[in-house]
Amino acid sequence: MPDIIHHILKTYFGYDSFRPQQEEIIRNVLAGNDTVVLMPTGGGKSLCFQIPAMALEGITLVVSPLIALMKDQVDAMIANGIPAVFINSSLSAREIFEIQEELQRGKIKLLYIAPERLALLDFQVFLKSLPISLIAVDEAHCISEWGHEFRPDYRNLQRCKQVLFPHVPIIALTATATLKVKEDIITQLHLQTPKVFLASFDRPNLFIRVKPKQQAFKEILLLLKKYTDEAVIIYCLSRKETETLAVALNKEGHKATAYHAGMSSDERKKAQDRFKKDQVSIIVATIAFGMGIDKPDVRLVIHYSLPKSIEGYYQEIGRAGRDGLASECVLFYTYGDTRTLEYFIGAMEDADEQRRARVKLQEIVDYCEAQGCRRNILLRYFGEVGEMQNCASCDTCTTTKETFDGTVIAQKILSAVIKTGQKFGAQHVISVLRGSKNQGVLSRGHDSLSVYGIVKDYDDSALRLFIKELASKGYLLKDEIDHNIFIFKVSAKGMDALKQRASIELTKPPVAMAKGKSSSSGKGSSTHSDNELFQELRALRRKIAEQRNVPPFVIFSDKSLLEMTEYLPQEREQFSKIFGVGAQKLEDFGHKFMEVIRQYAGKKL
């Protein structure tokens, strides 16, 4: 006989087993302990408080930063037969009053609120009247100034443990916390000897690649051919870019919409709803604005511009393949994007905030320019040992690295480092070699050096890769003169190589390899558009979702539909074994989907 949490897992969520660490986390919460969960997007964080909510007496209070995300999660709970509500600014006073009455009558198990609401004294009084049994703080990194999406309103949560509910356990959950942020979460929430669960941040179903930002729009069109009618997110740096790119994609016959902070709240809501409900397949959004979507079937995430940090980047690519199916993440990189981000950093008033932002920017630049396994880099960043020999799911591990005789370009770089005085970073050396007329070069008279403007056949990105490789091979020494600010000097090995004109082999840079050709072509294997039954089930899912005014993934995930196409369940007992089919969904939707499956199977006989 299954125990209560396994019974809830199957009856309400339709799952036969837990994902790694979920069961241990849930049992720790049910034991009344404070808990911190660091788990990547798609790892199943929500179940870690939703199942305890059903097992405990009373109400679970869920603090979530985004209204749209609340609605998605509440819609999903209701579809699973779980009584859940949200209270936020999208509701009228009358609607809030009615929800509060339901809560006081004991009809609700989960209450979702935004952190701003906790600042309201009358709402605090109302909460005190409820039997709160658990507090779940979602996106908990928002409480830390070291987090990539710090929100001052999250500091309202400090009162939960100190004043409002000192004896109620708290579970804090985040997908992108570094070890420093983790400690800050514990401090700010006043958690009492919490047990910390650090799940693996590895997402093997995501193929990760960085491509040079050359003819990027053409490259995007090639990528989209692989994902016809699949959900795609494209991140841009500016509002203008999102609008320009969305218009251009629509002209090419794609269904795309822009999404950024400059739009009215109604416009943003409309854009997001159209994307969630599969009315448009592509949403083009600014990196700076959090979308807060709960859509599990995003197949492609593109960064058209450089992200501000590895944390932000990892959370954004985490929106791909949340259902565990194969998905792709592509970042178009040019060092030039750092200038725009540096401008934003320079506008920050707090010196410490500026310093933190520059450190984060350099980390994402290093990631983009790395020659090693990208998955290892990401895992190590989040405090996890990442030493895979070949992950088989990133560009650097699946691309044969070409080398060439780099003696000439190496000598030019080494000479430029010496002639500029061996007291500058990579960018200044590159500016001199490329003949830049920027003030830093001209004011120092470096435009009169013999090495000024002698490199014409490589761009800035390629030269940065060469400099890093020369440093890794010992020809250059990297000297840190201030926190995360480096200069380069020529080593004894480099001096000998210059004098003896020694042969130096270098890795051919992606920029040079990318000229005139593309690695993206043809139909991707991750798309299911050639599966007739899958498309019929998808159409039924969309029809039901429109009738209920919810996103299609609330009805069933792509993973559920794919299992239906594989096993062809035509009886209730068979259908109940499909992934994601709980008792409520079996009752509400089972007969409709089985009818489509029976008709399809009949045609194939």
The pTM score is: 0.74
The pLDDT of residue 118 is: 85
Long-range contacts at 589-593 (CB < 8 A, ≥ 24 apart): 589/544, 589/555, 589/556, 592/540, 592/544, 593/537, 593/540, 593/556, 593/564
Check: CB of residue 222 under 8 Å from CB of residue 42. no
Q: In whole angstroms, what is the distance from residue 379 CA to residue 201 CA?
A: 6
Paired residues of 300 in beta bridges:
232, 328
The pLDDT of residue 44 is: 86
Instruction: Locate 536 and state its tokens.
Output: 């019929």
Q: In whole angstroms, what is the distance from residue 557 CA to residue 594 CA?
A: 16
Average of per-residue pLDDT across 123-130: 92
Judged by average pLDDT, the poorest of 103-117, 342-356, 563-577 is: 342-356
Instruction: Find, among 411, 423, 537, 392, the residue nearest to 475 by Cα.
Output: 411
Domain spanning 532-604: CATH superfamily: HRDC domain (1.10.150.80)
Question: Would the CATH topology of 4-198 be identical to that of 206-398?
Answer: yes
Spell out where 119-241 has E strands: 132-137, 170-174, 195-198, 206-212, 231-236
Spell out where 170-281 has E strands: 170-174, 195-198, 206-212, 231-236, 256-259
Q: Nearest 5°: phi and psi at 7?
A: -65, -45
Banded pLDDT at 255 (limits 50, 70, 90): very high
Q: Answer whether residue 379 shows pLDDT above 80.
A: yes
Bridge-based pairing state of the strands 282-286 and 231-236: parallel
pLDDT digits (tens, 9 = 90+) for 75-103: 999 999 999 999 988 889 999 999 999 99
Banded pLDDT at 350 (limits 50, 70, 90): confident
Banded pLDDT at 387 (limits 50, 70, 90): low
Domain boundaries, given as residue ranges, for the chain: 4-198, 206-398, 403-507, 532-604
Pick the most confident of 56-65, 282-291, 356-365: 56-65
List the Cα angle 65/375/196 in 5-degree steps.
Answer: 50
The pLDDT of residue 343 is: 84
Name the DSSP class of 422: S
Check: CB of residue 388 under 8 Å from CB of residue 375. yes
In this prediction, what percent of the chain has a pLDDT beyond 90? 51
Instruction: Find, among 34, 343, 351, the residue nearest to 173 by Cα.
Output: 34
Average pLDDT along the chain: 87
The pLDDT of residue 481 is: 64
- Residue 89, number of CB atoms within 10 A of its CB: 10
Q: In whole angstroms, what is the distance from residue 71 CA to residue 69 CA?
A: 5
Whose tokens are 């320009």? That residue is 244
Banded pLDDT at 482 (limits 50, 70, 90): low
The pLDDT of residue 194 is: 94
Q: In whole angstroms, what is the distance from residue 210 CA to residue 588 CA?
A: 44
Instruction: Locate 83 and state its tokens.
Output: 């009584």
Judged by average pLDDT, the poorest of 103-117, 237-251, 375-389, 464-478 is: 375-389
CATH 1.10.10.10: does it fit domain 403-507? yes
Q: Answer whether residue 198 shows pLDDT above 90.
A: no
Banded pLDDT at 503 (limits 50, 70, 90): very high
Q: Answer whether residue 529 shows pLDDT above 50.
A: no
In the CATH scheme, what is the code of domain 4-198? 3.40.50.300
pLDDT digits (tens, 9 = 90+) for 178-193: 778 888 899 888 899 9
Average of per-residue pLDDT across 317-338: 90
* Assigned CATH topology for domain 206-398: Rossmann fold (3.40.50)
3-state helix, strand, coil in the chain (%, to 5): 50, 15, 40
